[in-house]
Amino acid sequence: MKENRSKTTTLIIGNGFDLSLGMRTDYSSFFQFLEDKNFFKDNARSPLISYIKEKGEQENWFAFEDIISDYALHGVVARKLLYMHKMMDNIEKIWRLDDFALSQIHKYRDLIEDIPSLEGFISTCEQHNYCDLKLLDLLDPKYRDVQKEVDHFVKGVRKECEEVINLLSSQLRNFIKVARPNIEYSPAIKIICALLGCDGKGFNDWADNILELFNREKDKYIFHEFHLLSFNYTDALRLVLSVIEGRTKKSLYDDNTTFVPSVFNIHGDLNHAIAFGTDENNDIPNELWALRKCSNIGIDMKKKFNEILNLSDRIVIFGHSVYGIDFEYYKDYLKKGSVKADIYIVSNTENSLNDIKRGLEEKGVSPRARYVIANIYNDEFCKLCEDINNDQQDPLLKIYASVGKDSIF
């Protein structure tokens, strides 16, 4: 149980963290992975998959989540759905004896390929006046045919979206499973060790400091309190420990080892369902709901995310663009009047830090944050890790251990 709260650190990581470990988990590598498996060729009939392929090959645009968002807002299916909504609104007005709506129905002939019965409905409107329509009730059966075919089209769109997201999620899972760290000394390793209160001068120090916290009687590690919020599907702690093990040949964990239950994979992980898709843009048609990440998340992670931020004294964002597809998670926290936490935005290059600054400004947010380049030779980054490590070793921080199902391993 926790007693008096001292300074608490929350580390938020994105794909830049995995890249810092030398893992090829970027979307351009995923695109190539799909190409090598003939994924695009085998699924060429899917409008969404063809859209992704086209953007990658013709525009060198590989940001899958952004591409899916673009497709859901501006793709051919999204445009058809918008047009169908307008058509059905026009038809409703015809029932209310709107003469202008009757004169405009011919504009929807472009939809006849998908809604064949629309041809008969439009022809009937063009050949009769309102008296005929009301007296002979000519439109009622034709309207029912149109409505039936619209429903059938929508049902097909929803099914296709669900199938494609499931296909892409399955392939993404396979892609990430084979990704391995490919670097010896990384800022990602150093900041994780600092978060655990186990930082040192190198691999042997890290391993020895971690082993000191292993409680052999309880067969588990006991760390000071921390939070690790990951937008990746990988297991950050296991990845870092595996690199340290590989260098030192010291065994740091086995199948029985458990860790503090303070790690949250926002979009799921390889051992559970993963959320793949775009954000919760309200302009996306409801028929394309399956393309939104929130449709694949069983619990309200956004609420949990903000609860943790509000309890944090130091927030370190490592390798995550913040202003991009996941900005919805940060928005409420960053836009409120006062933010008590010290915020550090850490990225691998100065260009990416400048992009984040600019992106946040465009979102109308200018957080009081320090921008730090993730480099083990960068004094500012090393000082940040030192401060985190010292706080994590503060005896005023009550330590606790994980149990059972709350374990991340």
Domain ranges of the chain: 9-23+182-406, 77-153
Q: How confident is the model at residue 138 (pLDDT cuts 50, 70, 90)?
A: confident
Q: How confident is the model at residue 397 (pLDDT cuts 50, 70, 90)?
A: very low
Per-residue confidence (pLDDT) for residue 16, from 0 to 100: 93
55, 67 contact by CB (below 8 A)? yes
Q: How many CA atoms lie within 13 A of 3 on its CB side?
A: 5
Token duo for residue 295 = 């449709």
Looking up tokens 């673009």, which residue turns up?
Answer: 70
- Of 98-102, 126-130, 200-204, the one with minimum mean pLDDT is 126-130
Instruction: For 283-324, write each residue's pLDDT tens digit.
Output: 888 899 888 876 555 457 888 899 999 989 999 999 998 998
Instruction: For 194-235, write each residue's pLDDT tens digit.
Output: 998 999 988 999 999 988 887 766 667 777 778 999 999 998
Residue type, position 82, single letter: L
C-alpha closest to that of 360 among 408, 393, 326: 326
Q: How far apart are CA 145 and CA 304, in angstroms?
A: 47
Instruction: For 168-181, write each residue's pLDDT tens digit.
Output: 999 999 999 998 88
Chain Cα centroid distance, residue 189: 23
Residue 337 in this model has a pLDDT that exceeds 70: no
Residue 42 in this model has a pLDDT that exceeds 70: yes
The model's pTM is: 0.84
Non-local CB neighbours of 6 within 8 Å, separated by 6+ positions: 391, 394, 396, 397
Average pLDDT, the chain: 86
Q: What is the mean pLDDT of residues 23-28?
A: 91
User: Which stretch, 22-31, 54-63, 180-189, 388-397, has highest mean pLDDT?
Assistant: 22-31
DSSP per-residue codes, 37-81 = TTHHHHTTT-HHHHHHHHHHHHH----HHHHHHHHHHHSHHHHHH
How many percent of the chain have pLDDT more than 70? 88
Give the residue, 74 or 222, on which the prediction is more confident: 74
